[in-house]
Amino acid sequence: MKRKWLAGLTALTLTVTLLAPGPVSADEIDEKKDAIKERDKEIQRIEKERNETEKDLQSTFAELNDRKKELNQLNHEVYQTEQALKKSEKKLEEKEKQLEEQQRLFKERVRSIYQQGEMFYFQTLVDAGSIDEFLSRLEFVRQVAKRDQTLIAGYERDRKELAEERENMEELLAKRKEKSEQAQKLHDDLTAEYKKYEKDLSKLSKEQENLEEVNEEERKKVRDLVRKRQQERQRTDPSSGKYEGGKFLWPVKGAPLTSPYGMRYHPVRKENRMHTGIDLGAPLGTPILAAASGKVIDSRPASGYGYIIIIDHGGGLSTLYAHMYAQGAKVSAGQEVSKGQVIAEVGNNGWSTGPHLHFEVLKNGNHTDPMPYFKQ
């Protein structure tokens, strides 16, 4: 990006005295006219350079946004692969248990046959006292043989399915490794590039901050998920039915409040829209702290939110942290966290025009003003 910082600005010594006292000669008038023309040319040159610099900034901003979208898509793919891995792990565990049971039954059957001897079935038929008894014993032998065949077939089937599932898991692991490495490289490149132009782009970010929004469909998904996870936790952990954590900790040390909770004007849509949380401005990579102790009920990519972490604090109270990158997340779903623990790093992911933390407080899944919770 061109870095033309208007070096010629200092050359504008606009000290031309247009109406000096006393008589003015024709040569002096011509000199003043020439000075004014030179001044106008310098102003035009500076304005042209300023416009070019602005265009370069806009181009850089658009390019970074495209790469951010690419990274977000990669992180979604990594997350989906991880979910598939979890299912595969569960399926593999079930298959291993089934095979273990089949092996046990198979060994017992082999032991029984060995103890009975090779001539057991033949002797059973020979010892029949009548045709009816012979036919009855023959049917018994057939049923036993059929059961043995089913047992062997089941054993072989489970062995085959177990091998296939292990192969599937290996493929998923390889895919996750490849996608994760791609995402990490893109993340490193993107953050390095952004830091390079961070000061230059901050002005554009401020001008566009009111363009940020998360659609209602995404918010509804998050609210529904929070309610579901809170209900699940309350069923399994009765102690989570009440919040006793006191006032919240400011989640980014020293970060200023750049956008409050409430209605704000959307300059493109020409309407007021609800901002469901607060924004805290901070450089990329700044640590994000848990506002209170609790259990992580979600940690994943989430469309307009970029990447979210949701912590349930008990009593129907949860906090949501958004716009991070997956590479900066430090906790995963199901993990217990303590107040002040580092859970992520400030990012610029999703529908975000500059590095910041979007922080929400959810009461029974519904957003509410976070500020009172820092004053309790």
How many independent structural domains does the chain possess? 3
In-domain check, residue 151: yes
Q: What is the mean pLDDT of residues 60-76?
A: 80
Query: What CATH number is associated with residue 346?
Result: 2.70.70.10
Q: Is the dihedral of CA 215, 218, 221, 223 positive or negative?
A: negative
The Cα–Cα gap between 143 and 251 comes to 69
User: First and final CA of the chain: distance in angstroms?
Assistant: 48
Residue 347 buriedness (CB in 10 A; 0-12 / 13-18 / 19+): buried
Residue 204 domain flag: no
Domain final residue pick, 47, 69, 91:
69
Judged by DSSP in three states, 186 sits in: helix
Residue position matching structure tokens 């959307």: 266
On whether residue 229 sits in a domain, the answer given is yes
Residue 208 lies in a domain: no
Domain end point (choices 69, 101, 119): 69
Q: Over the chain, what is the mean pLDDT? A: 77
Task: Say yes or no: 172 and 188 in one domain.
Answer: yes
SS3 state of residue 268: coil
CA angle 257, 261, 267 (to 5 degrees): 95
| 6 has pLDDT over 60 | no
Which pLDDT band holds residue 344 (cuts at 50, 70, 90)?
very high
**Whether residue 183 sits in one domain with residue 226:** no
Amino acid (1-letter code) at residue 367: H
Identify the bridge partners of residue 311 per DSSP, sorted by sequence position.
296, 319
* Per-residue pLDDT tens digits for 96-111: 787 777 777 666 656 6
Q: Do 335 and 341 form a contact (C-beta atoms < 8 A)?
A: no
pLDDT digits (tens, 9 = 90+) for 170-214: 888 888 888 888 888 888 888 888 777 766 655 555 544 554 556
**Are residues 55 and 172 located together in one domain of the fold?**
no
Do 326 and 234 share a domain, yes or no?
Answer: yes
Do residues 34 and 153 share a domain?
no
Which residues partner with 345 through β-bridges?
Answer: 287
pLDDT attached to residue 8:
42
Judge contact between 328 and 347, C-beta under 8 A: yes
Q: Which residues of 246-285 are buried (b: 16+ CB within 10 A; e: fewer)?
A: eebbebbeebeebbebeebeeeeeeeeeebbbbbbbbebe
Between CA 98 and CA 105 the distance in angstroms is 11
CATH number at residue 188: 1.10.287
Full residue range of the structural domain in which residue 142 is found: 71-198
> Which pLDDT belongs to residue 19?
43
Helices 26-116 and 198-208, packing angle to 10 deg: 90
3-class secondary structure per residue, 210-248: HHCCCCHHHHHHHHHHHHHHHHHHHHHCHHHHCCCCCCC
| 23, 54, 69 - which closes a domain | 69
Same domain, yes or no, for 361 and 251?
yes
Contacts with 318 (C-beta within 8 Å, 6 or more apart), sequence order: 226, 230, 294, 297, 310, 311, 312, 361, 362, 365
- For 250-304, the pLDDT digits (tens) are 999 999 999 899 987 765 466 787 889 999 999 999 999 999 999 999 999 987 8
Nearest residue to 358 (alpha-carbon basis) of 253, 274, 281: 281
Which three-class secondary structure state does DSSP give residue 188? helix
The per-residue pLDDT for 150 is: 75
Instruction: Return the bridge partners of 294, or none.
Output: 337
Say whether both 187 and 234 belong to one domain: no
Cα angle 311, 210, 52; round to 5? 125
Residues 15 and 110 in one domain: no
d(CA 223, CA 216): 10
CA distances from 344 to 285, 289, 337 (A): 8, 7, 12
Which residues touch 155 (CB under 8 Å, ≥6 apart)? Answer: 99, 102, 103, 106
Among 47-51, 75-79, 222-226, 322-326, name the one with the lowest average pLDDT: 47-51
Whole-prediction pTM: 0.65
Are 166 and 172 within 8 A, CB to CB? no
Share of the chain above pLDDT 70, in %: 68
Say whether both 63 and 87 belong to one domain: no
